[in-house]
Amino acid sequence: MSGGRTVAAVSDVSFDLAAGECLALVGESGCGKSVLASALLGLLPGNAEVRGAVHAGGRDLLTADERTLARRVRGRLIGLVPQSPAAHLTPVRTVRAQLAETVRELTGAAAAALPDAVLAAADRAAFPADHLDRYPHQLSGGLAQRAATALALVGDAPLLVADEPTTGLDRALVDRTVDELRRHVDDGRGLLVITHDLAAAERVADRVAVMYAGRIVELADAGTFFGKPGPRHPYAAGLLAALPERDFTPIPGMPPELHALPPGCAFAPRCPRATDACAQRPALTEGTACHHALDSAHA
pLDDT tens digits for range 24-64: 999 988 888 888 888 888 888 888 888 878 788 777 887 88
Under 8 Å between Cβ of 159 and 78? yes
Task: Please give the span between the terminal C-alpha atoms of the chain, in angstroms, as a whole number.
Answer: 39
* E strand spans, the chain: 22-26, 55-56, 59-60, 78-81, 159-163, 190-195, 207-212, 215-221
Domains defined along the chain, listed by start:
22-205 (3.40.50.300), 233-299 (no CATH)
Residue type, 98: Q
Angle formed at CA 72 by CA 61 and CA 92, multiple of 5 degrees: 110
User: Would you state the pLDDT for residue 51?
Assistant: 81
DSSP assigned state of 128: -
Winning range, highest mean pLDDT, from 19-23, 30-34, 80-84: 19-23
Q: Which residue has the higher pLDDT, 166 or 101?
A: 101
Report the half-sphere exposure of 86 (CA within 13 A, side-chain side).
10
User: Would you state the pLDDT for residue 295?
Assistant: 81
User: Would you state the pLDDT for residue 63?
Assistant: 81
pLDDT tens digits for range 175-230: 988 998 998 899 999 999 999 899 999 999 999 999 999 999 999 999 999 999 99
What average pLDDT score do residues 99-121 get?
A: 94
Q: Is the link from the previous residue into 234 a cis peptide, with omega within 30 of 0?
A: no
Its pTM stands at 0.88
